[in-house]
Amino acid sequence: MKNLLFVRCVVMDNASQIHNRIAYLREQLNSHNYHYYVLDSPQISDSEYDMLMRELKELEDEYPQFISPDSPTQRVGATPLEAFGVVEHPVPLLSLSNAFSNDELMSWHKRALNLLDGQTFDMVCELKMDGLAVALTYIDGALVTGATRGDGSRGENVTENLRTVRSIPLSLRGDAPPRFEVRGEVFLPLDGFNRLNDARAKEGQPLFANPRNAAAGSLRQLDPRMTAQRPLDIYIYALGWSEGKSMPPTHQETLEYLKTLGFKISPYNALCQTIEDAIQYRSDFEEKRESLPFEADGVVVKVNSLELQSRLGSVARDPRWAIACKFAPVQATTQLKQIEINVGRTGTLNPVAILEPVKVGGVTIQHATLHNEDYVKLKDLRIGDTVIVQRAGDVIPKVIAPVPGKRAGKETVFKMPTRCPVCGAEVIRPEGEALHRCTNASCPAQALEKLKHFVSRGAMDIEGIGQKLVEALFEAGLVKNISDFYYLRTEQLLTLEKMANKSVSNALDSITASKEQTLARLVFALGIPHVGSETAELLVNTFSNMDRLANATEEELIAIPSVGPKIAESITAFFRQRENQEIIHRLKEAGVSMEQAVSQPSERPLAEQTFVLTGKMESLSRLDAEARVKSLGGSVSSSVSKNTAYVVAGIDPGSKLEKANKLGIPTLNEQEFIELLTL
């Protein structure tokens, strides 16, 4: 039957019939996707699905004018992204404060009750999935933008990658608001995570420490085809903002409504009337967490009524109407087989525990850092010991303690080597420092670690160059310092073992793509001692290009909050070194971006204009109105002053309108306000 349809369709010559057929297939496939990925209840077999998909692909190949962005064929972006642009979040993505015990959860509840003058409230309890937050914007029923949380106000534009997540609808069912944003957690189920790491282990690629890192790494792929291969999933947990349609009054009903539009909502959510019920929910799931198909690091308790939520408001970035209660970390015992030394990029000797592989909370652990010699001594860890290891969600696994009762007498005490295990140079422990260091500034281990750091996910994120390839390039003498990556040629890469045309072009493509990485990543990737990714962000916010940063004085650097004399000295010393100047020059010559990207002013027509809203509006909720102003670059204040650009007066405006008239501030009625917003 499907074949017949296919044959009949390709012989049609009427463009509008083709168009209709394409629209029909698109709708069918989107609907099957929904049943398969969101409802987990497929309605057709995989091969029938493949047939429909094939037919659609063939028609679209022949009639590319009919391809639309919501077509299921467009989930896998065809071309690699140059780099991620910045998305300004019209309404910031908040974070959550934590309760570490039931008492703290009770205190949170009590405080909320007090703030609401004793008014009781329902709560929605949800699992806290361990992935990463994203915001998805839909216009006229189609996904237009998907962004990471970033710093809450500005995230990365990862739309093309999010399009590959099957449980994210590209087009919506039901009656959706014309413009709105939903938020949720993208995560990698444990099954997919373990398969991914197994495959990476086989290819000698570094393993992801946990599903959250793997999800984040997958979403930040420069090539959406790579993301498409990772079985990412999503649960939507909030409406960010919406326009043009009134929304339900509670969180629970909002989620129910979003479900009708085709979004995947966690089936584990529960409505609780009392805080005791919420405590029970937490302890139930703490017990069940091992059997969940994904990693959850706690539960989130949210006030159900949206009106009470807005009365409770937020303190800084943490809402008072929600709280996270983390689960206790998970532990396991295993054997400490060996303690190896890893020489870091600044020459530090870091002891690493080599463990008998063990599963902790669904994740296999085989290494754990032991920090320094004192840590090993303090814990009295001996090689051969049975040890307790612990993972707590996003935290790197830790060796907590030995189990002395299990000692057989053959365990050996660890000793820090006196010579660098890589170059043989003398090892010292500078006065007052916890770390031992190799004294040879040109120790190959340091040079190699600098290169590995440069390409790593948190730095330039050069996906096509794994750690093993960095080692091979370094050993072959093809890359001696970070700038050499940008001068690699196909024929050089082909001389390396296991490198064929495809892997070479992957590597070169991702090197090229990395030229557009943000300046903050580049500054972090340089490996300046004491400059981590957060400091790099701060530096770039002050000095918006590399030259300005390189010429900054120690005084100018210290003026930045949280940059102290030690960091400032390290930065100026780095840029003073001729070798480093040469490296930066070569990066520049190769076209590596040295400027901080700025958002387009044209997208912010209300920039620097403050609005005050008073009275009720008919077509827009207060939150929606605020979100819209913010999305256009404006801000909203609760009081009128001479700096107010406009006072917007709805039905029954309060004294703010009078004050505006007194101060001569322009006022807008609802209609005028909406016209201004749609300019």
> Would you name the residues annotated as active-site residues?
128
Q: Which stretch binds ligand IVH (CB under 6 A): 124-132, 285-293, 366-374, 528-536?
A: 124-132
Q: What is the 3-state secondary structure (H, E, C) of 99-131?
A: ECCHHHHHHHHHHHHHHCCCCCCCEEEEEEECC
Asked if 255 is part of the footprint of ligand IVH (rule: CB under 6 A), the reply reads no
- CA dist 670 and 625 (Å) reads 10
Asked if 240 is part of the footprint of ligand IVH (rule: CB under 6 A), the reply reads no
Closest by Cα among 320, 337, 328 to 385: 337
Q: Coil, strand or helix: which one is 579?
A: helix
Taking the complex as a whole, the smallest distance from the CB of residue 314 to ligand IVH amounts, in Å, to 8
CB proximity list for 306: less than 8 A, separation 6 or greater? 247, 249, 250, 251, 254
- State which of residues 129, 188, 557, 592 lies at the interface with ligand IVH (CB under 6 A): 129
- CA dist 618 and 650 (Å) reads 8
Q: What residues from 364 to 393 belong to the interface with ligand IVH (CB under 6 A)? A: none
- State which of residues 66, 237, 241, 524 lies at the interface with ligand IVH (CB under 6 A): 237
- CA dist 600 and 602 (Å) reads 5
Asked if 149 is part of the footprint of ligand IVH (rule: CB under 6 A), the reply reads yes
- State which of residues 21, 89, 109, 128 lies at the interface with ligand IVH (CB under 6 A): 128
Question: Strand locations in 42-112, DSSP E?
Answer: 86-88, 98-99
Taking the complex as a whole, the smallest distance from the CB of residue 157 to ligand IVH amounts, in Å, to 18
- State which of residues 162, 247, 279, 300 lies at the interface with ligand IVH (CB under 6 A): 300
Taking the complex as a whole, the smallest distance from the CB of residue 266 to ligand IVH amounts, in Å, to 7
H or E, element range at 668:
strand 667-668
- List the structure tokens of 136: 């998805």
Q: Which stretch binds ligand IVH (CB under 6 A): 121-129, 368-376, 377-385, 423-431?
A: 121-129
| Size of residue set near ligand IVH by CB under 6 A | 16
Asked if 528 is part of the footprint of ligand IVH (rule: CB under 6 A), the reply reads no
What backbone torsions phi and psi does residue 148 show, to the nearest 5 degrees? -80, 170
Q: Which residue's entry shows tokens 């820090």?
A: 416
Q: Which stretch binds ligand IVH (CB under 6 A): 128-136, 377-385, 517-525, 656-664?
A: 128-136
Q: How many CA atoms lie within 13 A of 3 on its CB side?
A: 1
Taking the complex as a whole, the smallest distance from the CB of residue 655 to ligand IVH amounts, in Å, to 31
Nearer to ligand IVH, 180 or 485 (CB): 180
Q: Which stretch binds ligand IVH (CB under 6 A): 17-25, 90-98, 199-207, 617-625?
A: 90-98
Q: Are the CB atoms for 508 and 487 separated by under 8 Å?
A: no
- State which of residues 215, 322, 341, 629 lies at the interface with ligand IVH (CB under 6 A): 322
Q: Are the CB atoms for 317 and 94 separated by under 8 Å?
A: yes
Asked if 503 is part of the footprint of ligand IVH (rule: CB under 6 A), the reply reads no
Asked if 181 is part of the footprint of ligand IVH (rule: CB under 6 A), the reply reads no
What backbone torsions phi and psi does residue 119 show, to the nearest 5 degrees? -70, 125
Nearer to ligand IVH, 132 or 459 (CB): 132
Q: Are the CB atoms for 154 and 164 separated by under 8 Å?
A: no
Taking the complex as a whole, the smallest distance from the CB of residue 209 to ligand IVH amounts, in Å, to 18
- CA dist 388 and 458 (Å) reads 29
Nearer to ligand IVH, 74 or 210 (CB): 210
The conformational region for residue 509 under phi > 0 = left, psi -120 to 50 = alpha, else beta, is alpha
Taking the complex as a whole, the smallest distance from the CB of residue 95 to ligand IVH amounts, in Å, to 4
- State which of residues 90, 146, 319, 393 lies at the interface with ligand IVH (CB under 6 A): 319
- List the structure tokens of 489: 């040629």
- What amino acid occupies position 619? S
Asked if 162 is part of the footprint of ligand IVH (rule: CB under 6 A), the reply reads no
- Residue ranges in contact with ligand IVH by CB under 6 A: 94-96, 126, 128-129, 132-133, 149, 185, 237-238, 300, 319, 322, 324
